[in-house]
Structure 1
Amino acid sequence: MKLAVFASGSGSNFQAIAEAIQKGQLEAEIGLLFCDKKTAYVLQRAAALQIPAVTFSPKDFPSKVQYEQEILRLLEENEIELVVLAGYMRIIGATLLARFANRMINIHPSLLPAFPGIHGIQDAFEAGVAETGVTIHYVDAGVDTGPIIAQEKINITTEDTLATLTEKIHTIEHRLYPTVLQKLITTQKERAIDDEKKSLN
């Protein structure tokens, strides 16, 4: 399956997905990295991995619709089948959602619906909850509100600092994201085979 990864920052989840593909753990190809920040470190990761990358900002366009239309053009041009958000810090608009409904996945560093938004780890830590975790979900028009695909919990201990908790969350993310993506791809392949068998009967 051909993926596009959207990222805005350092790109550690992008790296984890790419490495899982290289190891044969994820039956996919990253056809495109899209980044909305021209100085983000993820672009250096893509260059090192020789993965095509495109970067531009909403500020480069008169409207969000036109920004997303250009992204959509890139996705279609590269024959992208699944969009994977990996630290992409923008809300997806109707232009992309309409074309990629149920084909756009996000990872979030909390046990949704608790602690949505861009500070999920910090918010959970400062709230003093006993556990948090990682959620993988489909993207919808809300902020981290789409249907949940998978979650993994982690306890927050009295020894944890924000830094240690962040490291633990990232460790889970880097393992869980490629695993869940592979399950989704396998399921889709099985459905395609079943559909083909039905059409022959």
Structure 2
Amino acid sequence: MSDEYVLPRKATPDSPLRLAVMISGGGSGLRALLKHQQEADRAHVTTLVIADSESAGGLKHAMDAGVECFSVPLPREVKGAERRKAHEEQIIRIIESKDIEMIVLSGYMRILSSFFVSRWKGRLVNIHPSLLPDFPGAHAQRDALEAGV
């Protein structure tokens, strides 16, 4: 890949970017993306959701919306430093098989390696409902409002 930041193409409502959303929990950010993509002016469509746990509540939101879902937990059979790499390789295989154009990390709680991040340079975004690191956690919006931000 080039060192340049380049989206794969210009998205339009008639030809939206195909997103993979990676989650770890309840999927509040995923719900917002799914709701927004129902708007006429949207330029994205969530076509894949990957969770790092079968118990991630956001999987239900994706299934209810008809979005293809995968649960990809850390592989138990692999130990040590190779475990994370094996996990990320599984995710990469799924994403590449689905013709995904952009990845959204929405409450994804695993730190991704440079191996993974560099592969998606310019096409990987992390969304969070507050200003990090100042307002982490479940009450980020409340804490930010109380601080006057």
| Band of TM-score, shorter chain | 0.7 to 0.9
Per the alignment, residue 119 of structure 1 pairs with: 137
Distance in 2 (alpha carbons) for counterparts of 1:60 and 1:78: 25
Per the alignment, residue 86 of structure 1 pairs with: 106
C-alpha displacement of 1:48:
0.8
Normalising by structure 2, we get a TM-score of 0.75
Write the deviation string for residues 74-103 of structure 1: whole angstroms up to 9, x where unpaired: 111111111001111111112211211121
Normalising by structure 1, we get a TM-score of 0.57
Per the alignment, residue 4 of structure 2 pairs with: none
Percent identical residues: 30
Distance 1:94 1:157, change over 3 A: closer
For the residue of structure 1 that corresponds to 2:19, the secondary structure is: strand
Aligned length: 127
The answer to whether the 8 A contact 1:3-1:31 is kept is: yes
5+ residue gaps, structure 1: 126-131, 133-154, 159-201
Greater share of residues in helix: 1
Distance in 1 (alpha carbons) for counterparts of 2:22 and 2:77: 18
Per the alignment, residue 13 of structure 1 pairs with: 29
Within 5 Å, which residues of 2 pair with 1:1-201?
A: 1-60=17-76, 62=78, 63-115=83-135, 119=137, 121=139, 125=143, 132=144, 155-156=145-146
Q: CA RMSD in A?
A: 2.3
Query: Following TM superposition, where does structure 1 have runs of at least 4 consecutive aligned residues deviating by more than 6 angstroms?
Result: none
C-alpha displacement of 1:114:
2.9
Distance in 2 (alpha carbons) for counterparts of 1:59 and 1:14: 25
